[in-house]
């Protein structure tokens, strides 16, 4: 048996591993079929709500031939006082892989990843790594490349934005401009890591806190909902702060060929207008479907470390 592979953060992956997972996701999106996880048992534990990620990993594991065991927030003995560490030891003795959404810090997932069970971060407070892989898979599938693409991200510097920054800056020639509301930008350590990666790969990442002088000739415009799962805003007037950062058709005046991305769920009339989300530029629901393909690639990659 080999060493367990984990995906807690995109920084856990080498450039080759990242590209390999994305390429495999594109193969699944193109119709590839595999039974590469026959005999595997995958735990799916979601402490927070989920539609796309939970369905993607459950369906993906089944499509690859694995069996699944699912847990909701009220199912575990942590509710009666058992420690998270003890729960993780029990999981590791019975499961081959664990897909977990805690929406808390990643430290708990790191503890669970200490043994032979592979652990996949299905979203933590700091980062949503499987969303970042989905985004890369979507771009690769749509454009036939990721290198050299120019993206504008508009909205809160949340865990999806963090994953996008950590993912895209691995690719040469890419440009990512983030426009985030004042006080709601990327965590400084995430931005620093993305900037370091950009220097190494020849990419570019910039963050500003206004909507003036936006870049033109973009390949994609990306946003996420304003109320991230498991979080709350520290001030009551946050909607006023976010209002200028709504994605509207006006953003396409200087980038008529840009596609629209959204990690969903969406709130029409808040972070994006219905005209954009349901319009011809939107590939947001194709992007959601690619979450299945990306999940399959991640599961397969993790399972390969067990053999």
195 in the same domain as 90 = no
In the predicted structure, residue 2 carries a pLDDT above the cut 60:
no
pLDDT tens figures, 84-125: 899 899 999 999 999 999 867 788 899 888 888 999 999 998
Is residue 156 assigned to a domain? yes
Is residue 3 assigned to a domain? no
pLDDT tens figures, 184-236: 999 999 999 999 999 999 999 999 999 999 999 999 999 999 987 667 788 88
Higher pLDDT, 285 or 3: 285
- What pTM does this model have? 0.95
E strand intervals along the chain: 41-46, 67-71, 97-101, 118-121, 150-154, 175-179, 204-208, 220-223, 259-262
271 in the same domain as 135 = yes
188 in the same domain as 59 = no
In the predicted structure, residue 246 carries a pLDDT above the cut 90:
yes
Residue 160, domain extent: 131-286
147 in the same domain as 31 = no
Sheet containing 204-208, strands listed edge to edge, beginning at the edge strand earlier in sequence: 204-208, 175-179, 150-154, 220-223, 259-262
Evaluate whether 132 touches 123 at the Cβ level (below 8 Å): no
CATH of the domain at 28: 3.40.50.1370
Higher pLDDT, 151 or 229: 151
pLDDT of amino acid 130: 98
Is residue 1 assigned to a domain? no
Over residues 267-285, the mean pLDDT reads: 98
Evaluate whether 140 touches 174 at the Cβ level (below 8 Å): no
Averaged pLDDT score across all residues of the chain: 95
Is residue 2 assigned to a domain? no
Is residue 61 assigned to a domain? yes
219 in the same domain as 200 = yes
Alpha carbon distance 307, 301 (integer Å): 11
Alpha carbon distance 237, 303 (integer Å): 46
257 in the same domain as 140 = yes
Number of domains in the chain: 2
pLDDT of amino acid 84: 85
């Amino acid at each position: 048996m080999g060493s367990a592979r984990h995906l807690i953060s995109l920084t856990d992956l080498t450039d080759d591993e990242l590209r390999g997972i994305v390429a495999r996701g594109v193969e699944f999106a193109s119709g590839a079929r595999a039974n590469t996880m026959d005999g595997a048992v995958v735990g799916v534990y979601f402490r927070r709500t989920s539609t796309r990620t939970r369905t993607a990993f459950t369906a993906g594991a089944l499509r690859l031939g694995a069996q699944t065991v699912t847990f909701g927030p009220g199912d575990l003995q942590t509710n009666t006082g058992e420690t998270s560490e003890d729960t993780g030891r029990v999981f590791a003795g019975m499961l081959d892989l664990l897909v977990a959404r805690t929406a808390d810090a990643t430290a708990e997932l790191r503890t669970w990843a200490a043994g032979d069970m592979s652990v996949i971060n299905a979203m933590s407070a700091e980062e949503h790594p499987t969303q970042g892989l989905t985004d890369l898979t979507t771009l690769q599938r749509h454009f036939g490349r990721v290198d050299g693409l120019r993206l504008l991200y508009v909205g809160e510097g949340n865990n999806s934005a963090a994953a996008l920054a950590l993912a895209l800056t691995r690719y040469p020639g890419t440009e990512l401009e983030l426009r985030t509301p004042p006080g709601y930008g990327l965590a400084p350590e995430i931005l620093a890591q993305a900037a370091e990666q950009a220097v190494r790969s020849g990419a570019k990442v910039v963050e500003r806190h206004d909507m003036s002088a936006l870049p033109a000739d973009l390949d994609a415009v990306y946003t996420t909902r304003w109320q991230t799962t498991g979080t709350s805003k520290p001030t009551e007037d946050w909607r006023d702060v976010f209002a200028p950062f709504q994605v509207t058709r006006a953003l396409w005046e200087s980038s008529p060929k840009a596609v629209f991305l959204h990690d969903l769920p969406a709130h029409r009339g808040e972070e994006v207008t219905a005209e954009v989300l349901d319009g011809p530029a939107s590939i947001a629901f194709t992007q959601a479907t690619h979450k299945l393909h990306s999940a399959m690639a991640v599961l397969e990659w993790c399972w390969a470390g067990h053999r």
